[in-house]
């Protein structure tokens, strides 16, 4: 193996603790679509497919860990705890600590729009690469050592309260974008418990749907989905940040609401008829 070929292997070994069998997978995991890289057949080469796979593998492994750690907890608690562990904020932070930004292939264009989410996405793509290259068990060891053992206290994370609604409202205020929550449906679930379904509008566009046994819970779940969409869907972000055109003023309505509007004259005969109905007296001609 030449020295030029050894360097990438050492790079990913230092990053993951794994010597790759298929180096191309790891290099693809670090390639963002903004680079415009294509293969010999003209197909786009980027980490989106690996990110999709890595996201699923990460959720599966974290679900396995949470399931065995909290043996007396119900489904809702387990789902909530898993979501807190794999939240974008945690993955972005870990990706930066691992040094992913230093080896990430990313176009400088639209850098402000990408933010740091590309690094968390690349971490998920790296998980996808490890899974394809080394298998499920080795991938689980990587997640346990890099994410769980070194960065996250699972018990503390389970007790952490995350106010997604406040975060979304703060985002709207900082970007001068209106955020509105609306309960669109109420129904009884299979346990006959009253359930609320809420959607959240971000600058008039539906950003997320949330279901819960209280309005507060449904708002939180809708906000959580909207935040994820704002972090990952670049088309949605562009639409949301587009200024809304001002509506034209209806000239006819404007005339009716001006101070110079003249009073409406009521015919005298109409007044006489109304008085007659109230007093039951005949109208005098």
Contact between 154 and 65 under an 8 Å Cβ cutoff? The reply is yes
C-alpha atoms less than 13 angstroms from C-alpha of 188 in its C-beta half-sphere:
4
Contact between 125 and 47 under an 8 Å Cβ cutoff? The reply is yes
State the Cα–Cα distance between residues 85 and 83, nearest whole angstrom.
5
DSSP state of 266: P
DSSP string, 192-208: --EEEEEEEEETTEEEE
DSSP state of 148: I
State the Cα–Cα distance between residues 218 and 193, nearest whole angstrom.
14
> Which candidate in 27, 51, 55, 133 is catalytic?
55
State the residue for tokens 């043996």. 71
- Residue 281 catalytic? no
State the Cα–Cα distance between residues 96 and 120, nearest whole angstrom.
8
Query: Nearest 5°: phi and psi at 277?
Result: -65, -40
SS3 11: helix
End-to-end CA distance of the chain: 118
> Which candidate in 124, 133, 265, 284 is catalytic?
124
State the residue for tokens 């899974």. 131
- Residue 124 catalytic? yes
The catalytic residues are 55, 124
């Amino acid at each position: 193996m030449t020295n030029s070929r050894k360097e990438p292997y050492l790079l990913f070994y230092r990053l993951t603790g794994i010597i790759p069998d298929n180096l191309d997978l790891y290099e693809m995991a670090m390639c963002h679509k903004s680079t415009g890289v294509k293969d010999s057949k003209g197909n786009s080469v980027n980490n989106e497919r690996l990110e999709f796979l890595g996201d699923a593998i990460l959720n599966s492994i974290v679900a396995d860990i949470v399931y065995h750690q909290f043996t007396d907890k119900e489904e809702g608690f387990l789902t909530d705890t898993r979501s807190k562990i794999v939240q974008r904020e945690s993955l972005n932070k870990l990706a930066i600590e691992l040094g992913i930004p230093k080896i990430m292939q990313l176009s400088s264009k639209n850098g402000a729009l990408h933010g740091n989410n590309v690094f968390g996405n690349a971490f998920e793509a790296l998980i996808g690469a490890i899974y394809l290259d080394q298998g499920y068990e080795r991938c689980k060891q990587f997640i346990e050592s890099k994410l769980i053992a070194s960065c996250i206290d699972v018990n503390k994370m389970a007790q952490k309260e995350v106010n997604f609604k406040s975060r979304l409202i703060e985002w709207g205020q900082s970007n001068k974008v209106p955020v509105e929550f609306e309960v669109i449906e109420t129904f009884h679930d299979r346990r006959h418990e009253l359930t609320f379904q809420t959607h959240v509008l971000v600058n008039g566009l539906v950003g997320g749907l949330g279901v819960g046994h209280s309005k507060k819970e449904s708002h939180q779940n809708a906000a959580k989905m909207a935040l994820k969409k704002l972090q990952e869907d670049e088309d949605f972000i562009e639409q949301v940040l587009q200024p809304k055109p001002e509506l034209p003023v209806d000239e006819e309505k404007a005339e009716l609401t001006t101070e110079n509007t003249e009073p409406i004259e009521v015919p005298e005969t109409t007044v006489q008829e109304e008085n007659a109905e109230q007093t039951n007296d005949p109208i005098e001609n």
